[in-house]
């Protein structure tokens, strides 16, 4: 049978055989395979001496293949089937790492294997963000000032020998606020210095990329990724697509990045964030994270490894406590540079915390649109918007700004009665221009009249997280220090009677509400205003 194919212009493609059409389409999507390793621009790591037996260190052989591809002007470094044990590998421009089926790059353990990871480079700006964000070379795979680089699957990176420990910066608050150096702070600085010394030789990231452009990560799996499965800082034109990450700290961290697309990823991270955008001062400049989309992703907080083996174990849910399961999508905590032009859509949350948008270090978070989220077994606040005044930033940093945020089409069932959705600024710092629409929540209920009388602390300089306020006096929404907020088509229901109001406001002006429904215990108010 022949197929007539035409366009809407003057030209006519005429008669083309069906087989010819299908064959041409197949050529367009053929994957890189083991046979392709013999192509002129392919560099099989076994030809450079890699053993792939899971016991022999293959670091030097793999690096030779990468260097050879770079010296040739670019090419594909091919990982065939095997378990390739390695310490730090250094990426080069115009080089693709391709992990074939059955290929596993295994992070070596300095305590078991002869060797160590590359030393963390000096960073004079290390006080403004946690250790993990300040350094890049202490990683399994790292690249700096590179371009046109890809890491492709379907193989795996197993961070077996990485550590997920990362010392927190002692200056948790107050650099920009110029708070005094107290004896307690001096002691914390000394403790931090000792903790940093203990990191020497260790690797705490699977992939770290700094000050680079045109980077693609696609189709790979990351298991046990250390502190960060992926850390990209100062990267322009970044594509992350179709990854499976099952890890023991953060999954994907995007920091001061421009033009980034994260799509079709599954990230399980029970003890930290799944996909998080940050804007730190690690590069020594105030620069926003901007023009980013996150779409068609799944984030969760199941037991480590149970995403990859499809058992989805939920031991963490036996006793719900703050931070017991994380796994969420978040903007923050590091927020010196700010965020703008961010879109999050079509994502599923399961057995983890909810959505968090945070600006606390003096930057502007603005023009963020979130739509079409489904949350099941949410372990904390479904929606958390926080403008804080931590100001872990250079001196002279202003109070933060959070404005022009739209959140719509959210369906959430959550587990812990202590929490509700929270939109909270600070005295003198208002969250502005927020639109909430088409949101349906199913709450556990069970709050008491005493709970309704709780006055949450301001905690202006605290680490931004839903548990920073303690139990909430509302079971639906708590709104404080907000100007110009719209609530439309909000449906809030409880599984058990709850004596608290559904919505509590404190220092809120220009609130517009329409088609808002809430179930409640007999005699309990639907709304309340705290003074």
State whether 25 and 67 are in the same domain.
Answer: no
The rounded distance, in Å, linking the Cα atoms of 130 and 52 is 35
- pLDDT for position 25: 36
Assess whether pLDDT exceeds 60 at residue 9.
no
Assess whether pLDDT exceeds 80 at residue 324.
no
State whether 12 and 53 are in the same domain.
Answer: no
Q: Is the distance from CB of 199 to CB of 102 less than 8 angstroms?
A: no
State whether 50 and 192 are in the same domain.
Answer: yes
- pLDDT for position 314: 85
Task: Name the domain boundary from 194, 220, 242.
Answer: 242
Whose tokens are 């990351």? That residue is 222
393 or 231: which leads in pLDDT: 231
CA-based nearest residue to 327, from 358, 303, 359: 303
CA-based nearest residue to 277, from 267, 286, 290, 268: 290
**Domain membership flag for residue 179:** yes
How high is the mean pLDDT of the chain? Answer: 89
- Partners of 6 in beta bridges: 12
The rounded percent of the chain whose pLDDT value lies above 90 is 75
State whether 203 and 341 are in the same domain.
Answer: no
Query: Per-residue pLDDT averaged across 281-291, rounded?
Result: 96
State whether 279 and 230 are in the same domain.
Answer: no
- Model confidence over 236-261: pLDDT tens digits? 999 999 999 999 999 999 999 999 99
State whether 66 and 14 are in the same domain.
Answer: no
| DSSP-derived secondary structure for 483-506 | EEEEEEEEEEEESS---S-SEEEE
Assess whether pLDDT exceeds 80 at residue 29.
no
Assess whether pLDDT exceeds 80 at residue 34.
no
The H or E element that residue 28 is part of is: helix 18-29
The dihedral region occupied by 20, where left means phi > 0, alpha psi between -120 and 50, and beta the remainder, is alpha
State whether 57 and 16 are in the same domain.
Answer: no
The rounded distance, in Å, linking the Cα atoms of 215 and 234 is 11
Q: Is the distance from CB of 146 to CB of 93 less than 8 angstroms?
A: yes
**Domain membership flag for residue 259:** no
State whether 12 and 143 are in the same domain.
Answer: no
In this predicted structure, which of 172-186, 326-340, 392-406 has the lowest mean pLDDT? 172-186
Instruction: Return the structure tokens found at 393.
Output: 């930033």
Secondary structure, 3-state, 182-200 = CHHHHHHHHHHHHHHHCCC
Quote the domain boundaries for residue 10. Answer: 1-30
State whether 230 and 179 are in the same domain.
Answer: yes
172 or 62: which leads in pLDDT: 62
pLDDT band for position 195 (cuts 50, 70, 90): confident
Q: Is the distance from CB of 368 to CB of 338 less than 8 angstroms?
A: no
In this predicted structure, which of 7-11, 206-210, 279-283, 378-382 has the lowest mean pLDDT? 7-11
pLDDT band for position 24 (cuts 50, 70, 90): very low
Task: Name the domain boundary from 194, 226, 242.
Answer: 242
> Cα-Cα-Cα-Cα dihedral of 144, 145, 150, 152, to 10°?
10
CA-based nearest residue to 205, from 182, 224, 225: 225
- pLDDT for position 220: 98
The rounded distance, in Å, linking the Cα atoms of 476 and 422 is 9
Q: How far apart are the first and last CA of the chain?
A: 78
State whether 398 and 335 are in the same domain.
Answer: yes
Q: Is the distance from CB of 203 to CB of 139 less than 8 angstroms?
A: yes
Radius of gyration of the chain (CA): 25
**Domain membership flag for residue 49:** yes
**Domain membership flag for residue 382:** yes
209: domain CATH number is 2.160.20.10
Alpha helices in 40-167, H assignment, sequence order: 59-71, 131-134
The rounded distance, in Å, linking the Cα atoms of 203 and 163 is 6
DSSP state of 67: H
- pLDDT for position 426: 97
- pLDDT for position 15: 32
Total domains present in the chain: 3
**Domain membership flag for residue 265:** no
Residues of 440-468 as b/e, b for ≥16 C-beta within 10 angstroms?
Answer: ebbbbbbbeeebbebebebbbbbbbbbbb
> Cα-Cα-Cα-Cα dihedral of 507, 511, 515, 517, to 10°?
0
**Domain membership flag for residue 254:** no
What's the pTM? 0.90
- Model confidence over 349-362: pLDDT tens digits? 999 999 999 999 99
State whether 223 and 309 are in the same domain.
Answer: no
Assess whether pLDDT exceeds 60 at residue 116.
yes
The rounded distance, in Å, linking the Cα atoms of 448 and 437 is 28
- pLDDT for position 41: 64
pLDDT band for position 197 (cuts 50, 70, 90): confident
The rounded percent of the chain whose pLDDT value lies above 70 is 89
- Model confidence over 35-61: pLDDT tens digits? 455 555 689 999 999 999 999 999 999
**Domain membership flag for residue 441:** yes
State whether 194 and 229 are in the same domain.
Answer: yes
Assess whether pLDDT exceeds 70 at residue 216.
yes
- Model confidence over 86-113: pLDDT tens digits? 999 999 999 999 999 999 999 999 999 9
**Domain membership flag for residue 250:** no
In this predicted structure, which of 140-144, 499-503, 521-525 has the lowest mean pLDDT? 521-525
The rounded distance, in Å, linking the Cα atoms of 92 and 90 is 7
DSSP state of 451: H
């Amino acid at each position: 049978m022949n197929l007539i194919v035409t366009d809407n212009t003057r030209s006519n493609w005429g008669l083309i055989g069906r087989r010819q059409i299908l064959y041409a389409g197949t050529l367009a999507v053929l994957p890189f395979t083991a046979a392709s390793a013999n192509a002129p621009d392919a560099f099989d790591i076994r030809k450079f001496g890699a053993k792939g037996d899971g016991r022999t260190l293959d670091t030097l052989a793999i690096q030779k293949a990468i260097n050879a591809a770079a010296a040739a002007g670019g090419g594909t470094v091919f990982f065939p089937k095997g378990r390739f044990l390695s310490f730090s590998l250094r990426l080069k421009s115009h080089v693709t790492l391709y992990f074939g089926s059955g290929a596993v790059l295994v992070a070596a353990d300095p305590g078991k294997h002869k060797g160590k990871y590359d030393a963390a480079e000096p960073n004079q700006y290390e006080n403004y963000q946690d250790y993990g964000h300040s350094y890049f070379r202490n990683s399994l795979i790292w690249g700096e000032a590179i371009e046109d680089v890809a890491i492709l699957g379907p193989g795996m990176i197993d961070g077996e020998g990485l550590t997920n420990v990362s010392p927190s910066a002692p200056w948790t608050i107050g650099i920009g606020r110029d708070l005094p150096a107290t004896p307690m702070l001096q002691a914390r600085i000394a403790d931090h210095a000792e903790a940093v010394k203990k990191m020497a030789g260790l690797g705490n990231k699977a992939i770290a990329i700094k000050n680079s452009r045109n980077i693609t990560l696609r189709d790979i799996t990351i298991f046990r990724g250390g502190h960060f499965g992926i850390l990209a800082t100062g990267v322009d034109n970044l594509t992350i697509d179709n990854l499976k990450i099952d890890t023991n700290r953060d999954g994907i961290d995007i920091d001061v990045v421009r033009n980034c697309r994260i799509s079709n990823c599954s990230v399980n991270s029970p003890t930290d964030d799944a996909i998080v955008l940050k804007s730190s001062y690690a590069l020594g400049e105030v620069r926003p994270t901007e023009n980013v989309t996150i779409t068609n992703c799944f984030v969760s907080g199941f037991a480590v490894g149970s995403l990859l083996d499809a058992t989805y174990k939920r031991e963490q849910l036996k006793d719900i406590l703050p931070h017991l399961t994380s796994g969420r999508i978040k903007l923050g905590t590091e927020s010196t540079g700010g965020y703008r032009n961010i879109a999050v859509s079509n994502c599923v949350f399961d057995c983890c915390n909810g959505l968090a948008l945070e600006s606390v270090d003096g930057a502007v978070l603005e023009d963020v649109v979130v739509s079409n989220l489904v949350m099941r077994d949410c372990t904390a606040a479904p929606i958390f918007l926080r403008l804080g005044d931590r100001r872990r930033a250079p001196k002279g940093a202003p109070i933060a700004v959070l404005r022009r945020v739209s959140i719509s089409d959210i369906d959430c069932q959550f587990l812990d009665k202590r929490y509700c959705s929270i939109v909270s600024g600070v005295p003198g710092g208002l969250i502005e221009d927020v639109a909430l629409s088409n949101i349906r929540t199913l709450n556990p209920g069970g709050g008491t009249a005493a709970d309704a009388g709780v006055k949450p602390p301001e905690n202006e300089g605290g680490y931004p997280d839903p548990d920073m306020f303690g139990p909430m006096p509302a079971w639906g929404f708590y709104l404080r220090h907000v100007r110009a907020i719209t609530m439309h088509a909000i449906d809030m229901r409880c599984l058990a009677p709850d004596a608290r109001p559904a919505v509590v406001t404190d220092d809120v002006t220009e609130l517009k509400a329409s088609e808002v429904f809430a179930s409640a215990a007999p005699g309990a108010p639907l709304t309340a205003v705290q003074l």
